[in-house]
Amino acid sequence: MRASLSGRLADAVLALAALALLVHAVGFASPYGLRVLTVAGVYALAAFGFQILFGLGGALSLAQGAFFGLGAYVTGILGSRYGLGFSVTFPLSLLVPLLVALPVGLAVLRLESHYFALATLGIAQVLHLLAVNAPELTGGANGLPGVPGVVLFGWAVPRGLPMAALVWSMVAVGGAVGWGLARGRLGRALTLVRDDPMAASTLGLDVGRLRLTAFAVSALFAGAAGALAVHTQRVVSPEVLEFPVMVSILTIAVVGGRGRMAGAVLGAVLLVHLPEWFRALERSYLIVYGAALLLTILLAPDGLTGLLERLFPRRARPVPDATEPPPGRKRDGEALSVEGLSKAFGGVHAVQGVSLTLRAGTITGLIGPNGSGKTTLINLISGLERPDAGTVWLAGQALTGARPDRLARAGLARSFQAAALPDGSTALEAVAAARLASDRDLAAAESHARWALDRMGVGELAARPCRDLPAASRRRVELARALARRPAVLLLDEPAAGLTDSEKADLAARLRALAAEGVALLVVEHDMGFLLPLAGWVVCLDRGRTLYEGPPEGVRSDAAVVAAYLGGGAP
């Protein structure tokens, strides 16, 4: 009860602040004050897009300022040179940054984080060079004066309060759209892509497409903000493409609170007003921005909204009721077959010509000494590594070398040796992530996740943060995450590591129940006492090659296995 009260208190604080701002704007602000407020709205709009791309998606784009500038120049050039009105220039100011962002994003979004930042900065520099050096089009270094104001349905919106109201209603619309995206499937999926792209792809999420979507959305917001900035200034000059714009957007997002729309508004209002409140700083306001950015990163990495939430914690949302997700396609016989799979790293042959078949409803054990290629084999099957040779057939489809998300959507699920759960999210959220690729909305994903948690006997832990879970519970939550996908094939990498004997017995029973439903399981394990009674078939690898394949009873009596695996010193 206390938590919910303090949550409402936080909302009340924010609402009061908004009301004060409104009263100030309508009743007391000077024309200059209104202009500053308008600029703050413009930056909030640009920051919304950045919150989705960088705050949620974790992609540090340094092109948000460039898209802002692009939107500004489209409105500036069309308005000043060709006399076109708002109804034409505004949509085009959204469209042109989008059209630039899509091909650019396709090319650079695959890049690793710092390369991505560099590439986007390069794009920003190219646009700035163009603006300065193509005076016939852009007016060169001086820019273009005489950009018309906004005309809405024949009404020329005057400067001052009406323009401020127009910009802030756009902020309201943009904020609502951004908030919806951030709280919905897209926001959740992007957060997972940011925290653990590999886990995201093995859960069936198309990482590239999600990032591209976020990049496109961010460009739309920036373009809209740029257009409104030019209508406010009535001139466009290369300044809109310079680094300070980018710095301001980044600072607003970080100081306000990464990934939060309220943070974008709070950050924009604060930072745009900062130089006004401290007149002495006028020429050096960017020093203050730099200092604010540094201090926030050092002391309050979640920004102002993060601080507010820590002061006034919200009540956790109620855990939804369980709904059984629709079962995956049922297949009898061969669920997965692998033939002649090979992979070398440099000169080391990690896996050489391994073949195996997993039948629906069976449990296959994969054993071998450390470094024998077990994890590499699982990585090859699940698409995290591309095989040098060999084929992978899943549910009757040839999927050799396919991306992990493609394999996952075709019915494959896997776990990792170190249970890979996002520390910050609750068990329910972690499992719901596995349903994002298949479910229509978040509510459905969460009730399906609840079902999977219940099945693994950890339903009561749904609201607990993953980082607080003991090892055995983490294992079960991770199994629930794999199970929630309703896979046809389940690959488990050392699921019993670190469990007590009774926990192992419980795990074995749950795995048998899964097999009885028709799931084909491949279990990598060192603990023979756990694995041999469980598995119906065992494959033993040694130095990347199949050493033994057959029933579990044969393992202990096979001389080669004994020599290689059960003890090097054995005769």
CB of 59 to other proteins, least distance (A): 9
Q: Are 408 and 386 in contact (CB under 8 A)?
A: no
SS3 content of the chain, % helix, strand, coil (to 5): 60, 10, 25
Residue whose CB is less far from other proteins, 117 or 230: 117
Binders of other proteins in range 325-384 (CB under 8 A): 375, 379, 384
Dist CA 139 CA 126 (whole Å): 17
User: By CB under 8 A, is residue 112 in contact with other proteins?
Assistant: yes
CB of 108 to other proteins, least distance (A): 7
Which range in 32-40, 104-112, 421-429, 536-544 contacts other proteins by CB under 8 A?
A: 104-112
Task: Tell me the three state secondary structure of residue 320.
Answer: coil
Tell which residue, 198, 231, 222, 130, has the closest CA to residue 416: 198
Q: Are strands 520-524 and 348-359 parallel, antiparallel or unpaired?
A: unpaired
Q: Name the phi and psi angles at 363, rounded to 5.
A: -115, 125
- Label residue 543 exposed, middle or buried (CB < 10 Å: 0-12, 13-18, 19+): middle
User: By CB under 8 A, is residue 278 in contact with other proteins?
Assistant: no
Q: Are 87 and 78 in contact (CB under 8 A)?
A: no
Q: Are strands 397-398 and 389-394 parallel, antiparallel or unpaired?
A: antiparallel
Residue whose CB is less far from other proteins, 118 or 172: 118
- β-strand partners of 492: 523
Residue whose CB is less far from other proteins, 25 or 288: 288
Dist CA 388 CA 369 (whole Å): 23
Dist CA 526 CA 473 (whole Å): 20
Q: Which residue shows structure tokens 């202009």?
A: 35
Dist CA 527 CA 78 (whole Å): 71
Among 4, 113, 169, 500, binds other proteins (CB under 8 A): 113
Dist CA 70 CA 330 (whole Å): 51
User: By CB under 8 A, is residue 418 in contact with other proteins?
Assistant: yes
Among 10, 18, 60, 216, binds other proteins (CB under 8 A): 60
User: By CB under 8 A, is residue 123 in contact with other proteins?
Assistant: yes
Which range in 27-35, 204-212, 296-304, 542-550 contacts other proteins by CB under 8 A?
A: 296-304
- The CA radius of gyration of the chain, in Å to the nearest whole number, is 28
Q: Are 303 and 252 in contact (CB under 8 A)?
A: no
CB of 284 to other proteins, least distance (A): 5
Which range in 116-124, 309-317, 401-409, 424-432 contacts other proteins by CB under 8 A?
A: 116-124
Among 28, 155, 280, 298, binds other proteins (CB under 8 A): 298
Among 10, 99, 102, 132, binds other proteins (CB under 8 A): 132
Dist CA 544 CA 372 (whole Å): 5
Among 73, 215, 416, 530, binds other proteins (CB under 8 A): 416
Task: Tell me the three state secondary structure of residue 225.
Answer: helix
CB neighbours of residue 475 within 10 Å: 25
Interface characters, 445-474, with other proteins (x: CB under 8 A): ------------------------------
User: By CB under 8 A, is residue 290 in contact with other proteins?
Assistant: yes
CB of 260 to other proteins, least distance (A): 17
Position 472, amino acid: A
Among 22, 126, 141, 509, binds other proteins (CB under 8 A): 126
Residue whose CB is less far from other proteins, 15 or 287: 287
Total of residues contacting other proteins (CB under 8 A)? 47
Residue 265 Cα distances to 19, 21, 341, angstroms: 14, 12, 53
Among 10, 21, 25, 111, binds other proteins (CB under 8 A): 111
CB of 423 to other proteins, least distance (A): 12
CB of 476 to other proteins, least distance (A): 20
CB of 511 to other proteins, least distance (A): 22
> Which residues contact other proteins by CB under 8 A?
58, 60, 107-108, 110-115, 117-119, 121-123, 125-126, 129-130, 132-133, 198, 243, 247, 250, 254, 283-284, 286-287, 289-291, 293-294, 297-298, 301, 375, 379, 384-385, 416-418, 420
